[in-house]
Chains A and B, each alone.
Chain A
Amino acid sequence: MKTYFYKYLVSFLFIHILVNINLLCLASNPKDLPTKDNKLGKRLYFGLIKTGDNTVNCASCHNINVIDTFNWNPSIADLTLSTKNMDSTTFSKILLSPLGKRISDAHKNVQLSADQIVLVREYINSFRKTGLEPPKMKINRLLLFIFLLICIVGISVDLVYTQIIRYKIIHVIVLILSFVFILKITIEDAISLGRSKGYAPLQPIKFSHKIHVGDNKTDCFYCHHTAEEAKSAGIPSNGVCLNCHELILEGTNSGKFEIQKIHTSVSNKENVQWIRIHKLPDHVFFSHAQHANVGKLNCSECHGDMSEDHLATQSADLSMGWCLDCHRNRKVNFESNEYYKGTFEEYQKKFKDKMIDSILVVEVGGENCMKCHY
């Protein structure tokens, strides 16, 4: 019986290790090695070869890695895409004497010879297939988890076969501690499974909520105009963007590059593929119309202050507890809506008699399962 137990334990741990090694392998995606020309191009891109006064290099503005911060300048992947169909003279013209204000400021000290431009372009184009380089691995909970697993395996082996450590109490302590931490990691990760608070992916167009909402004071409902009438708030179509950007062609921070994407997508009839941030599970039915229009909730109550950050971020964890908190404590706009007044006659009477001064969402069925799940 005892041997059986160890067998299972070992096989169980083995599965864990196998799975995790697989994961690690997946994470370090091998890349095509740069060719010799690319090496030269790369050195030029990073400013390692002296050209002109050499105060600027491409890499200082145009990132080649996946980053999680907001960079106004186009990344190298953006560059290779946007220059895809350009002939070499246009390319060098844009590089050396561009038209836009923002870009000409940035590029004014760039001095590259025609050959060098070709090399740089080749280097840029090498990213067309591969995309941006992945960020460097960081030591995280995964490594800790693996370490703990190794601890367990090692200490178990020692306990049964090698018996190097004399005091059994050490085995017990290490085993218990490792188990506890493994359990802790698993549970915490399980809870966060499917939740993504703080998720703020980079979007295909560097749209800044800070500039539109914060600086320019655009109303949320101007762009997300179905929020008042439908379940979905709606990602604005290019048509909505063009209402303003038909005329505003250059941004202070991004220059012409980002705004141009709106126009290109319309002329190419290619929809912009935004990355979805807020995603409720399929069995949850949430209506923006109910909350934003009927409930008169401020958008920021769920979405945080969008005017503070360039990147749209998920500010709430969108868990059921978070929903219910509000459903239990929030007051309904009882007096201002005929529906509530007419439907809940008894409450209405109490209102009139000044017996109550507010009705909570929970009192009009805010805790019903089938309010949201059906």
Chain B
Amino acid sequence: MARYWKSLNNNSNKQKKSKSFPKATSRRDFLKMFGFGMASTFVLSRCKNAAHKAIPFLIKPEEITPSKANYYASSFFDGDKFNSIVAKVLDGRPIKLEGNELSPITNGGINCIAQASILSLYDDTRYRNPIIDNENVSFSEIDKQIIEKLNQIKSEKGKIALISSTIISPTTQKVIDRFVKKYPSCEHIIYDPISVSGLLEANHKLFGVRTIPKYYFNKAKLIIGINADFLGTWLSPVEYTKEYITNRKVSETNRDMSRHIQIESGMSLTGSNADKRIVINPSDEQKIVTNLYNYIAVKLNKETIDVASCNVDIAEIGEELLQNKQQSLLVCGTNNVKTQLIINGINQLLENYGTTISFKKRLRTKQGNDRLFKQFIDNLQLYKAVIFYDCNPCYNSLFADKLCDKIKNIDTSISLASVPDETSILTKYVCPSNNYLESWDDFIPQTGIYSLSQPCILPIFNTRQAQSSLLKWISSSDQYSELVKETCKKEIYPKTDKLLVFEDFWTLSLQKGIVEFTDKFVNPRFKYDLSSISIAETKELKPELQIYESVNIGSGKYANNPWLQELPDPITKVTWDNYASISQKLAKKYDLQTGDIIRINQLIEIPVWIQAGQASNTISVALGYGRRVSGKSGKNIGVNIYPLLAHTHISIEKTLHNISFATTQQHSSMEGRDIIRETTLSQYQKKTSAGNERHKEIEKHHQSLYNKYKYEGHHWAMAIDLNACIGCNACVISCNIENNIPVVGKEEVQNAHEMHWLRIDRYYKGNSDNPKVVRQPVMCQHCDNAPCENVCPVGASNHSSEGINQMAYNRCIGTRYCNNNCPYKVRRFNWFDYNNSDALSGNLYDPNQMTNDLPRMVLNPDVTVRAKGVIEKCSFCVQRIQEKKLQAKLENRTLRDGEIQTACEQVCPANAIVFGDLNDKNSRVYKLFKEKRRYHLLEELHTLPSIGYLTKVNNV
């Protein structure tokens, strides 16, 4: 068996004595508490129960039934990534966002940021009123002043700039166009915080269209990613994951899978899932790509590009690519136009255009133009008015500092932000926008797909949708919602099959959230001579800087989200921080250890993290941290790296300081056990039980004196396909939101007190310079022979007649015996009152103010909020099971397979989790349990878990 090892960094989570724990109780305290306890029991019992009010509707709306959830299809777009969502609205409050299964883009998948964005609706720091010079005013007042100013500028022929992130909404675009028409001196400037200008420019040069084509990862037999984290963050990760995984799943009947090679510098989510990972420094990227181009060009008798040779074995990759002509796909995440040109060239040589890449559908989520934005910054003094529309360039752009300094000189600066950010606090006028869950909107994320967004709740504060503000300022009386409907009627409806009359079509579209329409577009011709490209040789020896987008925080827009901050990074498992990932070699050179703080370019101080599989001379840092203006959960968490966006080579020096990280996986090591079972594709093709031979052997040894449980009705079980799981964390965040899992904060994570019911264990294997990564989602295994059940002195943990290991919180007295006896370490203990749910105050521990009135609105009323001193763990989303069972009983029918979806299963972009009834012989989970790949975690302990894992198959 290959040698697995846990982590390079053994000194994070330094054991600190927590200040929050009280000292041991003395005899005196005990007597005091005893006396007070007696007294308070009596006093409480004498008090009349407070009268609770029951307040019905005046006139009940037909579609609302108290205690029954409504679901509204909508869309999430934060200027960066698009997700089709379904919002669950219970008793008037949106409480959960899930993937829309009708969406052809995301197919029911959804990423962490989109899910967690529901908390921004209940963000305590939101603007509650329009603001002029830090004074609350009314909308009529602010409108009057702004219109006056704009008209004045118009008459003086002064310049106005409207800065925004990418706009993919046709109606918003129309409103902006009307705005520009009314104020002709207005320029609309688009920038993307995480720019793909390089790719857009390359496509423009080669094809004459400044756009991103659709990549079909499901049609490719061989996928090569070059510094493109397409499963985690690149362009449209949920969509790509869905497609990627269709070719990666194997079964008894389909024993073939695609092959994935990742060439990258830092260990990314995508790289950790690759069959083969090649580590390079970013400066070598262009050379390697060009060499690859030349290799293929030579074989196909095409012209080559002059370049020095590189140290990566190009021939092997080149041969594989040539074998998979028309069935391969090369993607590259660089923002360098030349590299992107060559990548396009390779795809063109391999005839991938038309098969795995198509311009018939084009991704519209990135349209930023770095050049125009830079021009704007350079000529800032010329502008008399600047309007910031849904963007925060004072934080997330390269020119943040410059802009911050000069913004005060601009006569009229207007922000349309909904939450105070680095930009809006500097502007004179703030016209707060609604949260997107309070707004109407429409999006065309991809050509041919029209997605609607509808309000799920009335605006909580005195805010107004940004588009309505723009409409107001051009003195238009149009309602934005009406304009959306008009766009749909005039531009989308005629392009559909028109089977319904428009009103019905509109209602149906709102219900489904997404409409497909035909978009005529001819694949553009390739027209560029690549051989004219000249590749400059770099001879820099200084460490290189690679800036990447983190899976959890993204561009930093949602940094003030404690759920996302506490979500462990898919690779490092670090929470509440970003860091400079460095290789062991570099660490040795600079005498660094994990947690030591380094200074980069005399500018930025950041702690280092020694990462396995990191390119030897490269430092990788995640964007999105170090917000200066944000709520408590985002402010000064981590380090802002945007100022270094343009740097490739950096100088570093060690400082005398260090910090300790809060990681969730230090204590997990496979310790020589086959926790994750693996095999290779060739072996799997020969024998489907490859890698899982021990399963049969262990099952033979299962003997017990006790009777087996007999499940008369249902026997709930879950199958997790380790081959499909990419470790994107979507399930973890979904579980957190569904089950009211508290946020405990950095200090408590350091004490290993994180409360996540579902975690994704990550193990490294092999050479630490370029290890193979394996992952496994672990939650309560719902054992039939549960070790936790036997040791509970009060029977709070016991077995249900449906195979669920139940946890009765109110019975739990907090001995933690079960926790101690659980071999999977999935039980979590409430060390404090994280939820403000104790009867007596004083135990509250809420570093992130999640128990304030507004954030509490997000709690799921169908799940108990746990108090201090009780154990909690995965319940198989029993509230969902109960709900659907009742539904079946009410409709007088049996349950359908797949009807009950646990929270983790629902959102999984890779469909790695399948939940169902083992007693139902036709269920998917039953069939998966019949697969030869199925095994259980630590099955040699004879715990008989209800969760089955399917072995991982590597296509090496």
Which chain A residues numbered 333 to 374 have a C-beta less than 8 Å away from chain B? 337-340, 342-344, 346-347, 363-365, 367-371, 373-374
Interface flags, A265-295, vs B, CB<8A=1, else 0: 1100101111110010111010101100110
Is the pair B864, A234 in contact by a Cβ cutoff of 8 Å? Answer: no
Tell whether A23 pairs with B66 under 8 Å between CB atoms, given A239-B60, A374-B864: no
Closest-by-CB residue of B relative to A293 is: B890
Q: Flag the segment in B50-58, B149-157, B277-285, B467-475 that touches A.
A: B50-58
Q: Please, how many angstroms separate the alpha-carbon atoms of A211 and B148 in the complex? A: 65
CA distance A236 to B35 in the complex (A): 46
Bound CA–CA A289/B65 (angstroms): 12
Q: Which residue of B lies closest to A7 (CB)?
A: B31
CB of B68 within 8 A of CB of A229, answer yes
Q: Which of A100-108, A111-119, A186-194 contacts B (4 or more CB under 8 A)?
A: A186-194
Is there an interface contact between B59 and A237, defined as CB atoms closer than 8 Å? yes
A338 and B892: CB pair below 8 A? Answer: yes
Decide if A253 is an interface residue (CB 8 Å cutoff).
Answer: no
Using Cβ atoms and an 8 Å threshold, which residues of chain B touch A193?
A: 41, 44-45
Q: Are B888 and A235 in contact (CB under 8 A)?
A: no
A29 CB → nearest B CB, Å: 14
Taking a contact as CB atoms under 8 Å apart, the answer to whether A8 and B31 are in contact is yes
Whether A145 contacts B42 by the Cβ 8 Å rule is: yes
- By beta carbon, the residue of chain B nearest A295 is B889
Q: Contact at A294–B890, with CB atoms within 8 Å? A: yes
Give every chain B residue within 8 A of A161 (Cβ-Cβ).
none
Q: Chain B, 21-63, contact with A by CB distance < 8 Å: what is the 0/1 string?
A: 0000000000100011011011111100101111111111000
Task: Give the residues in chain A near B45, CB-CB below 8 Å.
Answer: 186, 189-190, 192-193
Query: In chain A, residues 13-67, which have Cβ atoms closer than 8 Å to a Cβ of chain B?
Result: 15-16, 19-20, 23
For the complex, is B882 an interface residue (Cβ under 8 Å from A)? yes
Given A19-B43, A229-B65, A373-B810, also A274-B35 (CB < 8 A): no
Which residues of A lie under 8 Å from residue B49 when comparing CB positions? 194, 196, 199
| Known A-B contacts A15-B36, A196-B49; A234 and B42 likewise in contact (beta carbons under 8 Å) | no
Q: Which residues of A155-194 have CB atoms within 8 Å of chain B's CB atoms?
A: 185-186, 189-190, 192-194
Residues of A within 8 A of B66 (CB): 226, 230, 232, 234
A142, CB-defined interface residue at 8 Å: yes
Flag if A294 contacts B889 (CB, 8 Å): yes
B810 CB contacts on chain A under 8 angstroms? 281, 283, 373
Q: Does A71 contact B (CB under 8 A)?
A: no
CB within 8 Å for A274 and B712 given contacts A230-B67, A337-B889, A373-B808: no
Q: Is B802 an interface residue (CB 8 A)?
A: yes
Q: Mark B869-911, 1 if CB is under 8 A from A, else 0.
A: 0000001001100100110111011110000000000000000
User: In the complex the two chains form, is B58's CB within 8 Å of A230's CB?
Assistant: no
Closest to A183 in B: B38
Alpha-carbon distance A236/B59, docked complex (angstroms): 9
Asked if B801 contacts A368 (CB within 8 A), the reply is: yes
Beta-carbon nearest neighbor of B739 in chain A: A374
Is B355 engaged at the interface, CB distance under 8 Å to the other chain? Answer: no
A235 touches B54 (CB 8 A): yes
Chain B residues with CB below 8 A from A226, complex form: 65-68
Give every chain B residue within 8 A of A84 (Cβ-Cβ): none
Given contacts A19-B39, A230-B68, A374-B878, contact A272 B55 (CB under 8 A): yes
B249–chain A nearest beta-carbon distance, Å = 30
- How far, in angstroms, from A302 to B890 measured CA to CA in the complex? 21
Q: Sort chain B's interface into a size bin.
A: 35 or more
User: Contact string, B700-736, partner A, CB cutoff 8 A, digits 1/0?
Assistant: 0000000000001110000000000000000000000
- Is the pair A368, B800 in contact by a Cβ cutoff of 8 Å? yes
Name the one of B52, B713, B800, B895 contacting A369, with C-beta atoms under 8 angstroms: B800
Given contacts A189-B45, A229-B890, A230-B65, contact A363 B712 (CB under 8 A): yes
On whether the beta carbons of A374 and B712 are closer than 8 Å, the reply is no
Chain B residue numbers with a CB within 8 Å of A194 are 49
- Given A145-B42, A283-B809, A339-B892, A374-B54 contact (CB < 8 Å): no
Is A11 on the interface with B (CB-CB < 8 A)? yes
Residues of B within 8 A of A343 (CB): 713-714, 894-895
Indicate if B862 sits at the interface (CB-CB under 8 A): yes
CA distance A40 to B31 in the complex (A): 57
| Cα–Cα distance between A238 and B889 once the two chains are bound (Å) | 31
Check if B404 is an interface residue, CB within 8 A of chain A.
no
Q: Which of B800, B862, B863 counts the most A-chain CB atoms under 10 A from its CB?
A: B800
The answer, yes or no, to whether B798 is at the interface (CB within 8 Å) is yes
Say whether A231 faces chain B, with CB atoms less than 8 Å apart: yes
Q: Which residues of A contact B809 (CB under 8 A)?
A: 283, 373
Kindly state whether residue A12 has any CB partner on chain B within 8 Å.
yes
State whether A374 and B879 are in contact (beta carbons under 8 Å apart), knowing that A275-B53, A294-B886, A365-B800 are contacts in the complex: yes
On whether the beta carbons of B51 and A275 are closer than 8 Å, the reply is: yes
Beta-carbon contact of B886 and A370 below 8 Å: no
Q: By the criterion CB–CB under 8 Å, are B51 and A369 in contact?
A: no
The answer, yes or no, to whether B806 is at the interface (CB within 8 Å) is yes
- Does A201 count as interface, using CB distance less than 8 angstroms? yes
Task: Give the complex CA separation of A226 and B62 in angstroms.
Answer: 11
Question: In the assembly, what is the distance between CA of A152 and CA of B36, in Å?
Answer: 18
B58 with A266: CB separation less than 8 A: yes
A140 → chain B, closest Cβ, in Å? 9
Chain B, residue nearest A185 (CB): B42
B892 touches A23 (CB 8 A): no
Q: Once the chains are docked, how many angstroms separate the CA of A114 from the CA of B44?
A: 50
A374 touches B863 (CB 8 A): yes
B865 within 8 A of A: yes
Assembled-state Cα–Cα distance A371/B882 (Å): 8
B889–A339 CB distance below 8 A: yes
Q: Tell me the minimal C-beta distance from B305 to chain A in angstroms.
A: 63
Cβ contacts under 8 Å, B292 to chain A: none
When the two chains form their complex, are residues B888 and A339 in contact, meaning their CB atoms are under 8 A apart?
yes
A231 touches B800 (CB 8 A): no
The CA-CA distance from A236 to B53 in the complex, in Å, is 14
Q: Which residue of B lies closest to A229 (CB)?
A: B65
B621 at the interface (CB under 8 A from A): no
Residues of A within 8 A of B893 (CB): 338-339, 342
CB distance from A286 to the nearest CB of B (A): 10
Residues of B within 8 A of A239 (CB): 57-60
Enumerate chain A residues within 8 angstroms of B56, measured Cβ to Cβ.
234-238, 271-272, 274
When distances are taken between beta carbons in the complex, the residues of chain A under 8 Å from B894 are 338-339, 342-343
Residue contact B67 to A365, C-beta cutoff 8 Å: no
Contact between B68 and A238, CB atoms less than 8 A apart: no
| C-alpha spacing A69/B810, complex, angstroms | 37
Q: Which residues of A contact B39 (CB under 8 A)?
A: 15-16, 19
Question: B804 within 8 Å of A by Cβ?
Answer: yes
Instruction: Tell me which residues across on chain A come within 8 A of B878, comparing CB atoms.
Output: 370, 374
CA distance A344 to B862 in the complex (A): 27
Q: Is the CB of A231 within 8 A of B54?
A: no
Residues of chain A in range 192-243 having any CB-CB distance to chain B below 8 Å: 192-194, 196, 199, 201, 226, 229-232, 234-240
Docked complex Cα distance between A282 and B866 (Å): 10
Contacts of B60 in A (CB 8 A): 237, 239-240
Minimum CB distance partner of A11 in chain B: B35
> Which residues in A have some Cβ–Cβ distance to B below 8 Å?
8, 11-12, 15-16, 19-20, 23, 141-142, 145, 185-186, 189-190, 192-194, 196, 199, 201, 226, 229-232, 234-240, 265-266, 269, 271-276, 279, 281-283, 285, 287, 289-290, 293-294, 337-340, 342-344, 346-347, 363-365, 367-371, 373-374
Q: Would you mind naming 14 contact pairs between A and B with Cβ atoms under 8 Å apart?
A: A11-B35, A12-B31, A145-B42, A194-B49, A236-B56, A274-B56, A279-B52, A282-B864, A283-B864, A285-B882, A344-B713, A365-B802, A369-B807, A371-B882
11 more A-B contacts (CB under 8 A) besides A12-B38, A235-B55? A19-B39, A238-B56, A238-B58, A271-B57, A274-B55, A339-B892, A339-B895, A370-B804, A373-B808, A374-B864, A374-B875
Interface residues of B (CB under 8 A from A): 31, 35-36, 38-39, 41-46, 49, 51-60, 65-68, 712-714, 798, 800-802, 804, 806-811, 862-865, 875, 878-879, 882, 885-886, 888-890, 892-895
User: Can you list the 3 inter-chain pairs with the closest CB atoms, starting with the nearest?
Assistant: A189-B45, A342-B894, A231-B67
